[in-house]
Structure 1
Amino acid sequence: MRDSTHETELPALWLRARSPDPSQRDAVTGQRLMNPHLLPDDLYLLGARFEKDMLHLAFSDGFAGSFDPQELLRGSVLSTGLPATRAWRSDLQRKPLYVWADLQNDEVLYQALKDFIELGFLLVNETPTQADSILHIAERFGIVRTTNFGDFFEVYSRPESNDLAYRPVALGPHTDNPYRTPVPGIQILQCLQNETSGGFSTLVDSLAVAEQVRLEDPEGFALLSRIPVRFEYRDATTHLVSVKPMVELDGEGHMTGVHYSPRLDDIPLMSQEDTVRYHRARKRLGTLFEDPQYELRFRLNAGEMMMFDNNRVLHGRTSFNPAEGHRQLQGCYVDRDGPRSHYLVLQRKFG
């Protein structure tokens, strides 16, 4: 295979596994009927020829079939087919703001999903505010994930509650539920009522912050992506523990987000030197998370909601005074792959 800069040999094993022949793949599902893991490791090509824009290949294991060169080109790139992420700061020019009624149009939803995948969050106004409307809203984007908090949860001031989110205190930027495996991928928070002057919502893009940490302290960033951290939550009926690095990388080593919650984390026992090195990197990360140049701050009013990638975009809240009036939000979680699947399906129509 040749592009404008270099040639790449296509190994026989790679080619053989990509056969579209009906004897090798199910015609409906596209799933393999053979196991390429069991092919002989000394497999080689016996012959190759072009005929009517198709490549005909014969292999040493006795199989011969036709291959579409364009499909081979597409398969040579490890790509999800999704838009690339775009890191942002507080000076983000165009915020991804939509109206709920407009999102019933698939073409508008397609654009909104593109924004969400690129930026990691959406803002939606004029949403329905019945008792369980949030579940109907969530199903437009993906599949609701039930936790010990239920299908959805109510966020308002409750003394002696089992989480600080249900107190009127300020909440710094954090990841929800880092003690779960896997961590809830997407969170939706919808305002039902807000009679207080405080309680402003905040969002911070961890990709932008961590990139700055990586530039300033590459070794420190490497520690944050490698050293495991213990997260724990427990109440009368639930006890959850998860151990994972604070910075999340994908299989190609690219950063996808963080697990960040100073209320819940414990670093492992290390040497004094390693502890100080790790703490300095974590301290810088935390300082930038609270820096106004990275933070979006806004008030959610009744019928307004925010949806954000819980692994990538940290959320928080300023304190509020319950004596001023009632402030109530509803929240739920959606699996991370739901919006991505919707986007790829709609891309066939609008892309």
Structure 2
Amino acid sequence: MDTVKILDEGKAVSLTFRGGRERRFHAIWLRDNARDESTRAPGNGQRLITLGEISADVRIAAASVDERTLRVTFQPDGREIVYDIHWLAEHAYDGVHSRAPGWVSTEIETWDAGLGQRVPCADFSTVSRTDGALGDWLYDIRRFGFAKLTGGPVKIGALLEVVALFGYVRETNYGKVFEVRTEVNPNNLAFTGLGLQAHTDNPYRDPVPTLQVLYCLENSAIGGENMVVDGFRAAERLRQESPRGFDLLSRYCARFEYTGSAGVHLRSRRPMIELMPDGELVGVRFNNRSASAIVDVPYNDMDDYYRAYRRMSDLIDEEDMQVTFKLQPGECFIVDNTRVLHARRGYSGAGSRWLQGCYADKDGLLSKLAVVEKQRERA
């Protein structure tokens, strides 16, 4: 840290970091984000005061700096608070520039079929024993939106042990665990070997389950490979080819509906491509089987909307977007259901295919990953 300067009669402060990078912080922001024990609970870090307890006329009366800390005296209460310089550098908001709609976090890497042999994968027993290996696996899920796990037990309910590594099962009308059991040449057409287009699950829920686990118990049929597609890469390609199409799919809501079980009628209204207010790409919902009538698009935009919808569907179906693998008993994969679409290829011949599935949520996974990463920083 080089210098500190009070700005605008105490409404803000300017810090010049080594290398000449200048960042400004408002007095109200600094006071609201104080980390002292009277502002934040020492045990859990939760804020102890409301914004209404901070004067609307809060000003910086004095400020000094050294290599590690910024010391600020506020008026009108005369409180002196010390801030960690590194924390301020990490949380600086000055210099944030607007970006084009559809940008993705630096924590994310989009991909296509070129991912090839780099499919993220870990061993069940290893991630179960060591936080380091678990952290690496969770990091890959955050980065790529999916990952495999091998070497697991071949037993009913084993997928619950996978979820327990980072969080909790999200129970739905399908139960805690649902069966994906399909036999070739079945005596019931419900158990068919037909392929399925890549899709996100349960788009008719709000919120959707943000993670899905599929665990293999039997897979002796010919075919039946699992396939995943990065919905974010598909959205990026659509944006590059047709900015208007991308805008339409992200601006207008699609509708999804499910009434397939007695006593259940689920509906949602969300865009197929979901952006944050600042344009960050945060979600894709795509499931032709569960789509209901689109009624939120104006007449003059409907033709172009369907053109973009069709192109998004074509991109998802293209082989150069798809990563394919066949699970063996004791193997599973997990997908970020807000990003990665999954499918299966059709199968034929003798044999059977039995997977168990369940849902979970990303907040537990990201929480566990954050804890592991913090432990690594302290090590």
TM-score normalised by length of structure 1: 0.91
Deviations, residues 73-118 of structure 1 (Å, cap 9, x unaligned): 2222599xx9610011111151112221121222111111111111
SS at the partner of 1:297? strand
SS at the partner of 2:137? helix
Q: Does 1:141 align with 2:156?
A: no
- Aligned match of 1:191 in 202, 216, 232? 216
**Mapped partners of 1:183, 1:195: distance in 2:** 32
Alignment correspondent of 1:98:
122
- How far does residue 269 in structure 1 lie from its aligned partner after superposition? 5.2
**Mapped partners of 1:15, 1:22: distance in 2:** 15
Q: Does 1:61 align with 2:51?
A: no
SS at the partner of 1:110? helix
> For residues 17 and 329 of structure 1, do their structure 2 counterparts lie closer, same or farther at Cα, with a shift above 3 Å needed?
same
Aligned 8 A contact 2:170 2:360 in 1: yes
Deviations, residues 298-341 of structure 1 (Å, cap 9, x unaligned): 212211211111111100111224x6222110001111112211
SS at the partner of 1:314? strand
- Aligned match of 1:335 in 347, 354, 361? 361
- How far does residue 131 in structure 1 lie from its aligned partner after superposition? 1.6
Alignment correspondent of 1:303:
330
**Mapped partners of 2:225, 2:69: distance in 1:** 60
- Tell which deviates more after alignment, 334-343 or 244-253: 244-253
Aligned 8 A contact 1:225 1:248 in 2: yes
Alignment correspondent of 1:254:
280
SS at the partner of 1:311? coil
Alignment correspondent of 2:148:
123
> For residues 297 and 45 of structure 1, do their structure 2 counterparts lie closer, same or farther at Cα, with a shift above 3 Å needed?
same
> For residues 59 and 292 of structure 1, do their structure 2 counterparts lie closer, same or farther at Cα, with a shift above 3 Å needed?
same
- How far does residue 207 in structure 1 lie from its aligned partner after superposition? 1.3
Alignment correspondent of 1:22:
37
SS at the partner of 1:182? coil
- Aligned match of 1:45 in 60, 67, 77? 60
Deviations, residues 262-286 of structure 1 (Å, cap 9, x unaligned): 1111311544431111011111111
- How far does residue 37 in structure 1 lie from its aligned partner after superposition? 5.0
- Aligned match of 1:32 in 47, 61, 66? 47
> For residues 71 and 270 of structure 1, do their structure 2 counterparts lie closer, same or farther at Cα, with a shift above 3 Å needed?
closer
Q: Does 1:8 align with 2:23?
A: yes
> For residues 269 and 117 of structure 1, do their structure 2 counterparts lie closer, same or farther at Cα, with a shift above 3 Å needed?
closer
> For residues 168 and 75 of structure 1, do their structure 2 counterparts lie closer, same or farther at Cα, with a shift above 3 Å needed?
same
Tell me which amino acid in the other structure corresponds to 2:228: L
> For residues 249 and 167 of structure 1, do their structure 2 counterparts lie closer, same or farther at Cα, with a shift above 3 Å needed?
farther
Aligned 8 A contact 1:57 1:65 in 2: yes
Q: Aligned residue pairs: how many?
A: 344
SS at the partner of 2:23? coil
SS at the partner of 2:118? coil
Deviations, residues 18-43 of structure 1 (Å, cap 9, x unaligned): 11221111111111111125533332
Q: Which has the higher contact order (CA 8 A, sep 6+)?
A: 1
- How far does residue 51 in structure 1 lie from its aligned partner after superposition? 6.6
Aligned 8 A contact 1:83 1:117 in 2: no
Aligned 8 A contact 2:110 2:232 in 1: yes
- How far does residue 153 in structure 1 lie from its aligned partner after superposition? 0.6
Deviations, residues 4-31 of structure 1 (Å, cap 9, x unaligned): 5753321110111111221111111111
> For residues 39 and 121 of structure 1, do their structure 2 counterparts lie closer, same or farther at Cα, with a shift above 3 Å needed?
same
Aligned 8 A contact 1:156 1:167 in 2: no
Alignment correspondent of 1:347:
373
Aligned 8 A contact 1:126 1:303 in 2: yes
**Mapped partners of 1:102, 1:202: distance in 2:** 25
Aligned 8 A contact 2:215 2:356 in 1: yes
Aligned 8 A contact 1:156 1:327 in 2: yes
Residue ranges of structure 1 left out of the alignment (5+ in a row)? none
> For residues 277 and 304 of structure 1, do their structure 2 counterparts lie closer, same or farther at Cα, with a shift above 3 Å needed?
same
**Mapped partners of 1:152, 1:253: distance in 2:** 35
Residue ranges of structure 2 left out of the alignment (5+ in a row)? 1-14, 97-104
TM-score normalised by length of structure 2: 0.85
Q: Percent identity?
A: 34
Matches within 5 A, 1:233-252: 233-234=258-259, 235-252=261-278
Aligned 8 A contact 2:57 2:76 in 1: no
Aligned 8 A contact 2:67 2:85 in 1: no
Aligned 8 A contact 2:253 2:296 in 1: no
- How far does residue 144 in structure 1 lie from its aligned partner after superposition? 0.9
> For residues 273 and 220 of structure 1, do their structure 2 counterparts lie closer, same or farther at Cα, with a shift above 3 Å needed?
same
**Mapped partners of 1:177, 1:128: distance in 2:** 28
Alignment correspondent of 1:274:
301
- Tell which deviates more after alignment, 2-11 or 208-217: 2-11
- How far does residue 160 in structure 1 lie from its aligned partner after superposition? 6.8
SS at the partner of 1:257? strand
SS at the partner of 1:45? strand
